[in-house]
Amino acid sequence: RRILAPEFGAHGVHSRGRAAIGSGTVRLDNWWRAPAATTAGLLVFLLYGGFRAFQQQYFFADERYLTPFYSPCVSLGCASEPGSAHFGMFLPDNPLIPYAALSLPFLLGFRLTCYYYRKAYYRSIWLAPAACAVPEPHATYTGETRLPLILQNVHRYFFYVALLVSLVNTYDAIVAFKHPTDGFVVGVGNIVLLVNVALLWCYTVSCHSCRHVTGGRLKHFSKHPVRYWLWTKVSALNTRHMLFAWVTLGTLVLTDLYIALVAAGTVTDLRLVG
Ligand code: FES
């Protein structure tokens, strides 16, 4: 639905017919805290992730731990850490091309178009509106009906790629139990990778597109018991999608940081088995 700005340049709560209230909002609580915290959280992740994606160092530790920010490691530069490239090396080694350039753009697209993150940055960064009963600064509202926001609809396709990347992350977590010379080993890093990949699955499977894939367009649940069962499970996870969205940002950073610190020799990975 398109809401046109009324004449005289006034719009939204300042348009004709609305009560003339002098202040920007009459809310007296700290309504700005949530959008400010959201902006800060997203910025910290983007700055950290951006720095790490291009650092091209400290991404593989103890000859078996590969950080998710470099998975799959497909650059010729991955040769600097033998054993880190589980799926071959074919991208040129260039400081401007992340070693995981095959997956990172899709993962970024998946998160950027995620229904939850859209809500988060529409409110916190785009201020449309920043909070209930707080006027937005924009004169018109066209929703996601035209470019560029209509492109948010590609989310369902990013979902399929994210599924593949989750499988790759799972593979990384499993092969990390095998040390090239010591054989089967379990270290703290293994637990870190497992927890990270389990939460990534929770985030990916709780996606609204996944809910539609499993149970969407069904007219009779009784005729599709398997899809109905899957839909109920995905729906249960879906109620916590926001939680998984934030928790996985944190676990991704902590997992990467742990592997970077072990790779740099700052932290010693504690061996529990082997
Ligand atoms: Fe958030 Fe799909 S809705 S990942």
- Quickly state the pLDDT bin for 23 (edges 50, 70, 90): confident
Give pLDDT, residue 263. 98
- Residue 124 scores a pLDDT above 70: yes
Calculate ∠ Cα 137-141-147, nearest 5°.
115
pLDDT score recorded for residue 11: 64
Backbone angles phi, psi at 61, to 5 degrees: -125, 150
* pLDDT of residue 15 exceeding 80: no
* Ligand 1 pocket test target in 116, 199, 200 with most atoms within 8 Å of CB: 116
Mutation pick for ligand 1 pocket among 208, 213, 249 (CB with most ligand atoms within 8 Å)? 208
Which of 7-21, 90-104, 167-181 is the least confident region?
7-21
For residue 8, pLDDT over 70 is answered with no
Residue 9, pLDDT above cutoff 70: no
Of 134, 197, 143, 191, which Cα lies nearest the Cα of 170?
197
Which of 112, 153, 209, 242 most suits a substitution to test ligand 1, by most atoms within 8 Å of the C-beta? 209
Q: What is the pLDDT of residue 123?
A: 95
% pLDDT > 70, the chain: 95
Question: Does position 130 have pLDDT exceeding 90, yes or no?
Answer: yes
The pLDDT score that the predictor gives to residue 183 is: 97
Query: What is the pLDDT confidence band of residue 127, given thresholds at 50, 70 and 90?
Result: very high
Cβ(74)–Cβ(100) under 8 Å? Answer: yes
Q: Is the CB of 209 under 6 A from ligand 1?
A: yes
Does position 7 have pLDDT exceeding 50, yes or no?
no
Query: What is the CB-side half-sphere exposure of residue 158 using CA atoms within 13 A?
Result: 21
Give the residue-averaged pLDDT of 113-142.
Answer: 91
**Distance (Å, whole) CA 22 – CA 7:** 19
Tell me how far the alpha carbon of residue 242 lies from the centroid of ligand 1, in angstroms. 9
Q: Which atom of ligand 1 is nearest to 207's Cα?
A: 2
Residue 252: pLDDT band with limits 50, 70, 90: very high
Identify the CA nearest to 253 among candidates 35, 40, 36, 51. Answer: 51
* Amino acid occupying residue 242: M
pLDDT digits (tens, 9 = 90+) for 52-68: 999 999 999 999 999 99
Q: What is the pLDDT of residue 2?
A: 46
Q: Is the CB of 115 under 6 A from ligand 1?
A: yes
Terminal-residue alpha carbon distance, the chain: 62
Average pLDDT over the chain, rounded to whole?
A: 93
Lowest mean pLDDT among 62-66, 127-131, 169-173: 127-131
Taking CA atoms, 15 is separated from 20, 46, 139, 194, in Å, by: 9, 37, 10, 54
Instruction: Compute the distance from residue 56 Cα to the ligand 1 centre, in Å.
Output: 29
Tell which residue, 61, 146, 58, 158, has the closest CA to residue 104.
158
Q: At 144, list the tokens.
A: 């996601």
Rg (CA), the chain: 23
What is the average pLDDT across 183-205? 98
Please give the residue that has the higher pLDDT: either 148 or 16: 148
Residue 18: the pLDDT is 77
| pLDDT value at residue 16 | 75
Given a cut of 50, whether residue 267 has pLDDT beyond it is yes
